[in-house]
Amino acid sequence: MDTQALRSKVGELPAAQLAYRCAVAGRMRAERWGLALDESLRTRTRLVKPRTAGVGRILAYHSIGTDSWGVNDVRPADFERHLQLAADDGWTFTTPDRVLADPAQRQLAITFDDGATSVLDNAVPVLRHHGVPSTMFVVSGWADGGHGAGYEHVLDWAGLGRLEAAGVTLASHSASHPDFGRLTPAEAERELVDSRERLEAMLGHAVDEFAIPFGQSANWTPEAGEIAAKVYGTVYAQAVDTRPANTVPRTFITRIDRPLIFRAALNGAFDDWEEWFLGPR
């Protein structure tokens, strides 16, 4: 059975889906601990310097306290720990454009994907308290009620308005969160254009940034990249060294990222690592 056939089969079987998700999470846990311990040992024993010390990063979070989102969710207490640890290690927080404009600076930008309610509830108060800017990449169709779980975990337009009022920059994360790696160019164009138009109509201002759903190398195509370059000014990946051409790197932060793993991520331990992910079903 090839990968495509396996994915289709798994999609039909609830028990297989559960096993698949457990396997993905288990492998991610093992890989992140392994790479982080390796990075920590090598830097502590001064065999090598941290690979990218002093190089700015854009961090990619999802929800902050939505347990059912699994490895994509970061617990609120861990999120606060991340901010504190970064500050203790000499990082300062700024916007993505300033990280990109001056990559040699030890600067971090915070971004969130998917428009989770828990970001408004649990992350924004902490970010505001410390004066840390952030960006939220919104799935326009989910803000319209099109998420599988309705509005149980994602913000509607009023909630997104509250995010914006709290100083969070809003940008696009597509219309329906598809895997662009499996879309035709016409489908990709519709997702990219519809999302931008809907966001601009509802927010009342221009939206010029886009983050690729799932965000890894297999979730994008050169054709989608060509269309996105015409529709948006900046396209963000969710990978660093392995990201598609003409995208901006982001460092994926996960539920597994206790302080040792988070620090390793800031030092570049996962720059050539990607989540073991076959795409949505």
Nearer to Zn ion, 91 or 252 (CB): 252
Q: Is 275 in the site for Zn ion (CB under 5 A)?
A: no
Nearer to Zn ion, 106 or 190 (CB): 190
Cβ closest to Zn ion, residue 114 vs residue 271:
114
* Choices 22-30, 44-52, 109-117, 232-240 (CB under 5 A): range interacting with Zn ion: 109-117
Contact 168, 134 (CB under 8 A): yes
Residues touching Zn ion: how many (CB under 5 A)? 3
> Among residues 114 and 189, whose Cβ is nearest to Zn ion?
114
Q: Please state, in angstroms and rounded to a whole number, the distance separating the CA atoms of residues 83 and 235.
A: 25
Task: Identify which of residues 111 and 267 has a Cβ nearer to Zn ion in the complex.
Answer: 111
Task: Kindly state whether residue 271 participates in binding Zn ion, applying the rule CB under 5 A.
Answer: no
In the complex, least distance from residue 114 CB atom to Zn ion, rounded to whole angstroms: 4
Question: Taking contact as CB under 5 A, which single stretch among the options 35-43, 83-91, 107-115, 258-266 is the one that binds Zn ion?
Answer: 107-115
Cα separation, 15 vs 149, whole angstroms? 20
> Shortest approach of Zn ion to residue 212 CB, angstroms?
9
Least Cβ distance, residue 242 to Zn ion (angstroms): 17
Separation between Cα atoms, residue 113 and residue 176, nearest integer Å: 13
To Zn ion, the closest distance from the beta carbon of 49 in angstroms equals 33
CB-based burial label for 210 (10 Å; 0-12, 13-18, 19+): buried
What is d(CA 174, CA 199) in angstroms, rounded to the nearest whole number?
10
Q: Please, which of residues 204-243 interact with Zn ion by CB under 5 A?
A: 213
Provide the strand spans (E) within the chain: 57-61, 92-93, 107-113, 134-138, 169-172, 209-211, 234-236, 251-252
Dihedral through CA 86, CA 94, CA 98, CA 177, nearest 10?
90
Closer residue to Zn ion in complex, CB, 39/114:
114
Q: Smallest distance, Å, CB 278 to Zn ion?
A: 16
Distance, in Å, from the CA atom of 235 to the CA atom of 212, rounded to the nearest integer, reads: 7
Cα–chain-centroid distance for residue 78?
A: 16
Q: Is 113 in the site for Zn ion (CB under 5 A)?
A: yes
d(CA 212, CA 69): 18
The nearest distance, CB 34 to Zn ion, in angstroms, is 26
Part in contact with Zn ion (CB under 5 A); list of ranges 91-99, 106-114, 160-168, 258-266: 106-114
CA–CA distance, 205 with 98 (Å, rounded to integer): 21
Q: Is 179 in the site for Zn ion (CB under 5 A)?
A: no
Q: Is residue 114 involved in binding Zn ion (CB under 5 A)?
A: yes
Residue 238 CB, shortest distance to Zn ion, in Å, is 8
Positions in 26-65 near Zn ion (CB under 5 A): none
Which residues contact residue 4 at a Cβ distance below 8 angstroms, ignoring those fewer than 6 apart? none
For Zn ion, the binding residues (CB under 5 A) are 113-114, 213
